[in-house]
């Protein structure tokens, strides 16, 4: 993908089963905001105030909320408002007073530390964990990576609290806990990893002796711990119901009577009282304010880091130890960034990737896949499932996702193309190099493509009509292939694209051997011809039937083990620059004595799944694989595929022979016991036959199209059962029938294809 768009030339693009759902949360909130349609609404607001010297400003004020909330019909709201105005007097229908509490926090886990550090201290989760690890290494706080939210009863909290009596920051508060009955055993949360206690301070330290972020994290951990050991805050709440013109209104007042843990947790946590006038049931009063308010609905805010951590924890994305890493990763990859309010919004790249993967299917930006994996891991830890079963299910699902992504990768490119300019486009930063006009032609539209350089300095071919760019190797001197050569693979598999192959030679920081490259295959590696998993595919890496392709289909498969003493490495099929096939030792050049040349006329050689029963040894390591041959001049009688049990390694069948008793190990200095490849000709035909050694006269013309039918055996037996012969001299004055020129005199080397025919 980075090779297809101008803006993506630098950086890394990756997919992770945790980082993408993390990005998905940010994108989902961003899209909800973008799609939000604000609507107007109306409501009735009523207030009542009276003099009260105890209240701020000398007034006690009750803000009544309309029980209908808001209406989206202006006329309807206006009618109801007129009814309240016409009445003009409100009547108290109910006064309810009760004791309320604000619960102290539960002991701190890693997720809660990250959330509170982000919300209260404005420190990122990644930085929080870094600072907490440093404090732990110095013995100031406990291990910061834990899911536990409860202290075990054997934990000596009183001794730990006693260490803080002399602390200049927390000493007075701790003294109140221990001496005035303010201590209460901490609440218990649900989390428990049975490995580490909740995060807490391990010794008393003056916060002012610490660095800036260390001080903030230490104070947060200590305040949270002390709050856990305190009692809940207590308040007195008054709820007043009133009716005016047939419409009901509610006002609530609060008086905090016992602050308890709030005293130590400020300013992080607050519980503010609201002083209202005293009301009694049946009381009538004239509202100080009675108006119809107009407002508009507002979109939800962007996610803060605390919000994001909460969503990840809720949906099972990542663990307490990895959540911070996933959030940091999507920022490093530039999928999402923070605004001035420390809230996340996706970048153009982040939007494009989520759109692309969602178009492919499986909702890969949703938390479903990863959450299922995390749940399975939890089930293993509880003994409810086995590791083998979970791994098998996971691999099966991920394989299905991977195969679908490979098959539908174009949908990802299409989605990214909606947000970024194609590589080499006029709106980008690419420029045409000198002499690059009309460097090659486009197979889609047939127009000339220009050779350009991208913003990162990489060469590419660009078609202005199709608005498509093809990145090329960034090192080496690029020239047109001479003579021009059209990639046959693209011709058959991508009919719309017929690009000319280019040559890459020494120069431009490249000192290796020259090679050729097809601009299309270079960026769209053919999986069926050795391109699977390749991002930059060169012609010599290809296994197709092409003169520029140097790799062999199945070239990594072991055909037979090298028989040179002390070697024992694999012999693989190799192809030379001239297109000739041979078996070569993987230990080359250290081992160069085991080369076996295959028939010269073979246009293609491939490895079969079969092994030769006669040539293979007793173990799997000693197996000899059979080969399939395709020849340029195939003879009717010749079978390229060897018969089972007769011959091996793709060698044609030949008459049976007596084999020596015993076996020769394939990793010794002896040759393997498969038929010698020296006894076949360049067409793959056996050299042994009934006419071997016989001499004959034939036409002297070397061009087969000009040769006449002259053929005479020297011994006078003119049954024409062979033609192949070694080079000979003149024909002792005999003239050929067709041209009346001196015949060639030859000696038969093999049995021919004309059987018992006579000249």
* Confidence (pLDDT) at 197: 94
Same-domain status, 642 and 625? yes
Predicted pLDDT at 501: 59
Name every residue whose Cβ is closer than 8 Å to that of residue 335 and which is 6 or more positions away in sequence. Answer: 19, 23, 346, 347, 349, 350, 353
- DSSP for 482-528, please give it: SS--B-HHHHHH-TT--PBPEEEESBTTB-S--EEE-HHHHHS--GG
pTM, entire model? 0.62
Indicate if the pLDDT at residue 486 is higher than 50: yes
- Round the average pLDDT of the chain to a whole number and report it: 79
Output 674 or 467, whichever has higher pLDDT.
Answer: 467
Do residues 479 and 595 both lie within one domain? no
Could you tell me how many residues make up the chain?
759
pLDDT at 416 over 80: no
Asked whether residue 407 falls in the same domain as residue 507, the answer is: no
Encode pLDDT of 257-276 as tens digits: 999 999 999 889 989 888 89
More confident of the two residues 162 and 713: 162
**What pLDDT sits at residue 525?**
80
**Residues 603 and 518 grouped into a single domain:** no
**Mean pLDDT along residues 7-31:** 80
Q: Is residue 269 part of a domain?
A: no
pLDDT for res 644: 33
pLDDT confidence of residue 136: 96
- Whether residues 707 and 617 fall in one domain: no
| pLDDT tens track for 33-53 | 999 999 999 999 999 999 887
Dist CA 632 CA 599 (whole Å): 11
Return phi, psi of residue 748, to 5°. -70, 135
At residue 668, φ and ψ (nearest 5 deg) are -100, -175
Per-residue pLDDT, 429? 58
Tokens of 730: 């003149």
The secondary structure element, H or E, covering residue 321 is none
Q: Is the pLDDT of residue 431 over 70?
A: no
* Residue 686, helix vs strand vs coil: strand
Nearest to 4 by CA among 470, 431, 464, 440: 470
Query: Which has more pLDDT, 248 or 454?
Result: 248
Q: Are residues 626 and 565 in the same domain?
A: yes
For residue 362, pLDDT over 70 is answered with: no
Q: Which pLDDT score is estimated for 704?
A: 67
pLDDT of residue 730: 53
Torsion on CA atoms 162, 165, 171, 175, rounded to nearest 10? 70
In this predicted structure, which of 32-46, 191-205, 510-524 has the lowest mean pLDDT?
A: 510-524
pLDDT: which is higher, 603 or 166:
166
83 and 208, same structural domain?
no
CA pair distance 371, 377, nearest whole angstrom: 10
Residue 444 lies in a domain: no
CATH number at residue 15: 1.10.460.10
Better-scored residue on pLDDT, 79 or 629: 79
* pLDDT computed for residue 668 by the predictor: 28
- Whether 79 is covered by a domain: the verdict is yes
In a domain, residue 301? The reply is no
Residue 532 DSSP symbol: T
How far apart CA 250 and CA 222 sit, in angstroms, is 40
Per-residue pLDDT band at 206 (split at 50, 70, 90): very high
Angle between helices 125-137 and 323-332 (to 10 degrees): 130
| R_g (Cα) of the chain, nearest Å | 43
> Does 425 fall in a domain?
no
* Lowest-confidence segment of 23-27, 296-300, 659-663 by average pLDDT: 659-663
Q: What share of the chain has pLDDT > 70, as a percent?
A: 79
Nearest to 469 by CA among 429, 504, 434: 429
pLDDT at 64: 96
The pLDDT, as a whole number, for residue 373 is 82
Task: Tell me which of 438-452, 483-497, 556-570 is least confident.
Answer: 483-497
Q: Is residue 267 part of a domain?
A: no
CATH code of the domain containing 59: 2.70.20.10
The full DSSP string for 147-216 is: ------TTS-HHHHHHTTTT-TTTHHHHHHHHHSS---PPP--S---SSSPPB-BSS---GGGS-HHHHH
pLDDT class for 565, splitting at 50, 70, 90? confident
| CATH, residue 162 | 1.10.290.10
Decide if 14 is inside a domain: yes
Please tell me the total count of domains within the chain: 6
410, 320: one domain: yes
What are residue 560's DSSP bridge partners? Answer: 571
Name the residue range of residue 49's domain: 40-101+237-262+275-296
Q: What is the pLDDT of residue 375?
A: 84
Per-residue CA distances from 124 to 16, 281, 357 (Å): 21, 51, 28
Same domain for 596 and 678: yes
pLDDT beyond 80 at 229: yes
Q: What is the DSSP letter of 27?
A: H
Nearest-angstrom CA–CA distance, 89 and 84:
8
Which residues, including other chains, have CB under 8 Å from residue 40's CB and lie 6 or more apart?
Answer: 72, 74, 294, 295, 296
| Predicted local confidence at residue 659, as pLDDT | 33
Are residues 287 and 379 both part of a single domain?
no
Four-point Cα dihedral 675, 677, 681, 687, nearest 10:
-40
Whether the pLDDT of residue 675 is over 60: the answer is no
372 & 409 share domain? yes
- Name the nearest CA neighbour of 2 among 474, 509, 528, 487: 474
Domain boundary (373, 394, 415) is at 415
- Give 752 or 413, the one with higher predicted confidence: 413
> Ranked by mean pLDDT, which of 53-67, 151-165, 722-736 comes out on top?
151-165
- Band (pLDDT 50/70/90 cuts) for residue 473 is confident
Which is higher by pLDDT, 501 or 224?
224
Q: What percent of the chain has pLDDT over 90?
A: 36
Report, as residue numbers or ranges, the catalytic residues: 143
* 462 assigned to some structural domain: no
Q: Are residues 338 and 377 in the same domain?
A: yes
Q: What's the pLDDT at 499?
A: 45
Under the banding of pLDDT at 50, 70 and 90, the label for residue 653 is very low
Of 699, 689, 681, the residue nearest 721 (C-alpha): 689
């Amino acid at each position: 993908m980075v090779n297809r768009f101008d803006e993506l030339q630098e950086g890394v693009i990756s997919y992770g089963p945790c980082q993408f759902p993390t990005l998905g949360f940010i994108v989902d909130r961003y899209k909800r905001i973008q799609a939000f349609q604000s609507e107007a609404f109306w409501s009735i607001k009523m207030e009542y105030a009276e003099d009260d010297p105890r209240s701020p400003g000398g007034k006690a004020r009750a803000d009544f909320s309309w029980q209908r909330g808001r209406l989206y019909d202006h006329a309807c709201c206006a009618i109801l408002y007129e009814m309240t105005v016409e009445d003009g007097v409100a009547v108290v229908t109910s006064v309810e007073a009760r004791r309320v509490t604000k619960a102290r926090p539960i002991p701190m886990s890693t997720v809660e530390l990250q959330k509170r550090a982000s919300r209260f201290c404005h420190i990122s989760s990644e930085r929080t964990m870094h600072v907490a690890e440093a404090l732990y290494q110095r013995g100031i706080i406990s291990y910061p990576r834990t899911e536990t939210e409860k202290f075990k009863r054997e934990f000596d909290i009183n001794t730990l609290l006693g260490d803080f009596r002399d602390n200049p920051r927390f000493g007075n508060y701790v003294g109140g806990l221990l001496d005035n009955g303010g201590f209460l055993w901490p609440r218990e949360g649900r989390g428990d990893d049975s490995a580490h206690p909740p995060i807490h301070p391990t010794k008393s330290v003056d916060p002012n002796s610490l660095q800036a972020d260390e001080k903030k994290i230490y104070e947060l951990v200590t305040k949270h711990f002390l709050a856990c050991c305190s009692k809940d805050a207590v308040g007195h709440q008054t709820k007043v119901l009133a009716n005016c013109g047939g419409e009901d209104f509610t006002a609530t007042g609060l008086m905090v009577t016992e602050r308890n843990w709030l005293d130590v947790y400020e300013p992080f946590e607050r519980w503010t009282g609201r002083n209202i006038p005293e009301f009694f049931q049946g009381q009538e009063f004239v509202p100080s304010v009675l108006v119809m308010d107009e407002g508009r609905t507002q979109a939800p805010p962007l996610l803060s880091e605390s919000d994001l951590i909460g969503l990840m924890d809720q949906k099972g994305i990542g663990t307490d130890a990895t959540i911070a890493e996933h959030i940091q990763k999507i920022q490093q990859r530039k999928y999402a960034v923070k605004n001035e309010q420390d809230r996340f919004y996706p970048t153009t790249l982040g939007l494009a990737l989520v759109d692309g993967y969602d178009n492919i299917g499986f909702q890969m930006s949703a938390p479903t896949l990863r959450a299922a994996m995390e749940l399975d891991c939890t089930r293993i830890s509880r003994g409810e499932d086995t590791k083998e079963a979970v791994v098998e299910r996971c691999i099966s699902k991920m394989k299905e996702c991977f195969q679908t992504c490979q098959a539908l990768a174009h949908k990802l490119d299409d989605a990214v193309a909606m947000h970024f300019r194609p590589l080499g486009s006029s709106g980008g930063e690419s420029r045409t190099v000198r002499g690059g006009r009309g460097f090659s032609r486009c197979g889609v539209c047939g127009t000339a493509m220009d050779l350009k350089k991208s913003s990162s300095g990489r060469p590419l071919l660009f078609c202005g009509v199709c608005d498509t760019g093809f990145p090329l190797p960034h090192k080496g001197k690029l020239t047109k292939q001479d003579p021009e050569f059209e990639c046959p693979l693209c011709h058959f598999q991508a009919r719309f694209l017929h690009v000319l192959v280019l040559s890459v030679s020494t120069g431009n920081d490249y000192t290796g051997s020259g090679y050729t490259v097809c601009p299309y295959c270079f960026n769209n590696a053919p999986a069926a011809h050795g391109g699977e998993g390749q991002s930059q595919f060169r012609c010599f890496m290809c296994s197709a039937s092409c003169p520029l392709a140097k790799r062999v289909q199945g070239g990594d498969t072991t055909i037979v083990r090298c028989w040179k003493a002390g070697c024992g490495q694999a012999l693989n099929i190799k192809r030379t620059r001239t297109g000739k096939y041979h078996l070569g030792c993987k230990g080359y050049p250290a081992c160069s004595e085991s080369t076996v040349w295959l028939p010269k006329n073979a246009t293609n050689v491939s490895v079969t799944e079969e092994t030769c029963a006669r040539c293979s040894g007793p173990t799997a390591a000693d197996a000899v694989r059979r080969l399939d041959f395709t020849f340029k001049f195939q003879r009717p009688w010749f079978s390229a595929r060897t018969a089972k049990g007769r011959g091996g390694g793709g060698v044609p069948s030949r008459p049976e022979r007596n084999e020596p008793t015993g076996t020769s190990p394939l990793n010794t200095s002896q040759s393997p016991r498969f038929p010698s490849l020296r006894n076949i000709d360049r067409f793959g035909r056996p050299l042994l036959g009934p006419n071997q050694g016989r001499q004959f006269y034939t036409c002297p013309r070397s061009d087969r199209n000009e040769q006449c039918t002259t053929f005479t055996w020297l011994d006078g037996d003119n049954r024409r059962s062979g033609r192949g012969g070694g080079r000979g001299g003149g024909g002792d004055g005999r003239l050929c029938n067709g041209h009346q020129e001196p015949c060639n005199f030859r000696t038969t080397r093999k049995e021919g294809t004309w059987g018992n025919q006579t000249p």
